[in-house]
Amino acid sequence: MSDLKMREFKERPECYHLSREVMGNHVPLDNLRLELTSACFYLLPYHLLEVAKFESGHDGDIIALSFVNHNVKIAGRNLRALAIGFQERAVEWVMPVPEKYAEAWGAQGVIQSIEIEKPEDLCSKKTNS
């Protein structure tokens, strides 16, 4: 790989991050951060995760996570390693990749969208004083 290609690969932002490793195993985390936009993210506790489903198809992969009060749907490509990271409670944060950059990921896992179904929209809720 040329220096330029290697530098581009190293400087490319991540769409998810796993916890640090100790003796070859990821350290389990208490919370998962879902970065929807630069202005809004959710923290969901792993201990409230009830069901996780990974499904791979011709058009891409889907990871469905069911928490006590939230359902999360993550869509993208090559997401099997990410799904296993959820199993290990090792995923620290996830965020979608802007569509214009998605092709640069090639065979790497890329998150194209994150959807959250929740009782109310906490990010846009304003308090009255």
pLDDT of residue 13: 63
* pLDDT, tens digit, 9 for 90 and up, residues 34-53: 999 889 999 999 999 999 99
Tokens encoding 96: 């979608």
Q: How confident is the model at residue 108 (pLDDT cuts 50, 70, 90)?
A: confident
Cβ pair 116, 64 in contact under 8 A: no
**pLDDT-wise least confident of 4-8, 83-87, 119-123:** 4-8
On the question of pLDDT at 104 being above 80, the answer is no
Whether residue 36 contacts residue 115, with contact meaning beta carbons closer than 8 Å, is answered with: no
Q: What is the pTM of this model?
A: 0.79
- Three-state DSSP class for 82? helix
1 and 76 Cβ atoms separated by less than 8 Å: no
User: What is the band of 3 on the pLDDT scale with cuts at 50, 70, 90?
Assistant: very low
Any idea where the domains of the chain sit in the sequence? 3-117
Work out the pLDDT band at 109, boundaries 50, 70, 90: confident
For 56-92, what is each residue's pLDDT tens digit?
998 899 999 999 999 999 999 999 999 999 999 999 9
